[in-house]
Amino acid sequence: MKLYSTANHNLSVDFKTAVFNSLPADKGLYMPTILPQFDALMMQNWATKTLPQIAFDVAYTLLNEVISAQDLKAIIDDAINFEAPLHALSGDTFMLELFHGPSLAFKDFGGRFMSRIMAHFLKNEHKEIKILVATSGDTGGAVALGFLNVPGISVSILYPKGKVSAIQELQLTTNGNNIEAIEIDGTFDDCQRLVKQAFLDEELNTHLSLTSANSINISRLIPQMFYYANTWARLKADFEELVFVTPSGNFGNIAAGMIAHKMGLPVKQFIAATNSNDIVPQYFKTGTYAPRPSIATLANAMDVGDPSNFVRILDLYNNDIHALHTQLISLSYNDAQIKATIATVYQQHNYILCPHTATGYLAVEEVRKNETNKTAYIILATAHPCKFPDVFEELHINIEEPAQVETMKQKQQHKVIMANNFDDFKKHLLGLN
């Protein structure tokens, strides 16, 4: 597999380069030059295969020239060691639960696969790399738990003081070993600025092999295709058409589904549900892509004012908004709607939606047509509600915490406390303070 940049289709880099660079220098995003088609017989056989087996078929279709079948199988069996079950809310509406991994959010697919891909490439290099990530909450946990004890890699995660939930903080601070949590007295934007400055700092880069693990990395995108394929395999006997509804912020999760579709996965329509950060819904309304500063919402992992993966989706459709619009619609919902929906779904179905997932449910309510039962609506449940406790206290909904939360609470917390100051951060990375 070769990759080009969305900003320069003449560029051609190999997969390893794209994984360790994350971003091309021209500020586009890496995309596969050719999207191979899934083999028809292989897809037929998915009906009887497990999630890791389907994941292997999907990944190998893209990566067969890059990684041996044996190595890729080992990477996937190790990375995808939890389920992505479908929970039926009604005859044709399903929650695709992506929160059964260690950090309780879909980002575990990306975090765990990326870490093992990097370790695979580093195996024979005897080189130690340092991953720097800024997180507003969910990315950090998936990266921390994804890279925990992965050889050859150490990770520093910067997070804003007082701005992540208690469980999110535990996921960052209870790991130890090769994972370091740095609490910055500042905002998420401050954390991101410190990381960006570190990547540009010559002295740091002569002493350390710095790499990012952000959500636009191609090795985080590929594993997000796995559960779309697995869901189709589970439902294809009972439904003629599938509609996937993906709660979206940076649009990486939905981009992965749309790439799978371009590779031959039958999907009638994708719906990107957003919170009040409605850049993409507005784009479809007005034809103008107008990024703006993000606003804080209950679905805070989707508080994105310039969804970076959207250029990948446009690239899939040659930047033709009309062609794209036949396959993708995007709808936005505010906090009041999110809160009301969580309460209603709890009453009607005894099922607890996280605030992100609630936007997906709202979208299905808006678009569902009643004439046929042959269309399945699949809402991606992106996180376990226990990661976002505030809203549930207010609604008097009691959330049972999964066992891994109890285990984390027993562990010692470690964090480095730091001012929002680049010199302090740099000295720390160099081991000088």
Ligand X SMILES: *Cc1c(COP(=O)(O)O)cnc(C)c1O
Interface mask (CB under 6 A) for ligand X, residues 274-303, using x and -? ---------------------------xx-
H or E, element range at 267: none
Question: Which C-beta is closer to ligand X: that of 22 or that of 215?
Answer: 215
State the Cα–Cα distance between residues 213 and 21, nearest whole angstrom. Answer: 10
Question: What angle, rounded to 10 degrees, do the helices at 51-63 and 69-79 form?
Answer: 140
Residue 175-214 contact track with ligand X, rule CB under 6 A, x = bound:
----------------------------------------
The CA-based dihedral angle spanning residues 369, 371, 353, 337, taken in that order and rounded to the nearest 10 degrees: 40
Tell me the two tokens of residue 307. Answer: 């969804």
Please list the residues that pair with 182 across neighbouring strands: 158, 416
Least Å from the CB of residue 47 to ligand X: 28
Nearest residue (CB) to ligand X, 66 versus 380: 380
Q: By the 8 A CB rule, do 47 and 236 touch?
A: yes
- Binders of ligand X in range 18-77 (CB under 6 A): none
Closer residue to ligand X (CB): 130 or 356: 356
Beta carbon nearer to ligand X, 101 or 186? 101
Nearer of residues 129 and 229 to ligand X, judged by Cβ = 229
Write out the two tokens for 417: 């406390």
Choice between 146 and 249, CB closer to ligand X: 249
Instruction: Tell me: does residue 356 bind ligand X (CB under 6 A).
Output: yes
Of 154 and 165, the one with the shorter C-beta distance to ligand X is 165
Question: Which residue's CB is nearer to ligand X, number 101 or number 247?
Answer: 247
- Enter the DSSP assignment of 351: -
Q: What are phi and psi of 107, to 5 degrees?
A: -65, -10
As measured in angstroms, the least distance from the Cβ of 292 to ligand X is: 17
- Three-state DSSP at 41 gives helix
| Beta carbon of residue 246, minimum distance to ligand X (angstroms, whole number) | 7
Can you read off the two tokens belonging to residue 326?
């036949």
Return the residues of window 79-108 that contact ligand X according to CB under 6 A. Answer: 105, 107
CA dihedral 283, 35, 30, 149 (to 10 degrees): 110
Nearer to ligand X, 61 or 250 (CB): 250
Among positions 240-279, residues that touch ligand X (CB under 6 A) are 247-253
Shortest Cβ distance from residue 66 to ligand X (Å)? 24
CB of 198 to ligand X, least distance (A): 23
**Residue 35 to residues 19, 247, 408, Cα–Cα distance (Å):** 17, 25, 41
Query: What are the b/e assignments for 42-69, b being 16+ CB within 10 Å?
Result: ebeebeebebbbbbbbbbbbbbeebbee
Site for ligand X in 211-240 (CB under 6 A): 215
* Minimum distance, C-beta of residue 133 to ligand X, in the bound complex (Å): 13
The stretches of 23-103 forming alpha helices (DSSP H) are 40-45, 51-63, 69-79
Token match 């008097």: residue?
A: 396
Separation CA 111–CA 82 (nearest Å): 13
Least separation in angstroms between residue 228's CB and ligand X is: 13
- The least distance separating ligand X from the CB of residue 247, rounded to whole angstroms, comes to 5
- Residue 43 or 254: the one with the smaller Cβ distance to ligand X is 254
Dig out the tokens for 170 from the structure: 């535990």
CA distance 18 to 175: 28
**Contacts (CB under 6 A) with ligand X, residues 130-149:** 138
State both tokens at 259: 């790439």
Cα 114 to Cα 76: distance, rounded to the nearest angstrom: 10
Which residue in the set 214, 294, 330, 382 belongs to the binding site for ligand X (CB under 6 A)? Answer: 382
Closer CB to ligand X, residue 72 or residue 254? Answer: 254
Compute the least distance from the CB of residue 321 to ligand X, in Å. Answer: 19
Q: How far apart are the first and last CA of the chain?
A: 43
Q: How near is the Cβ of 170 to ligand X at its closest, in Å?
A: 16
Question: What is residue 274's DSSP assignment?
Answer: E
- Minimum CB–partner distance for residue 148 and ligand X (Å): 18
**DSSP strand pairing (129-134 vs 416-419):** unpaired
What is the Cα–Cα distance from 34 to 30, expressed in whole angstroms?
A: 12
Q: Containing H/E element for 302?
A: none
Binding region for ligand X (CB under 6 A): 105, 107, 138, 215, 247-253, 301-302, 356, 382-383
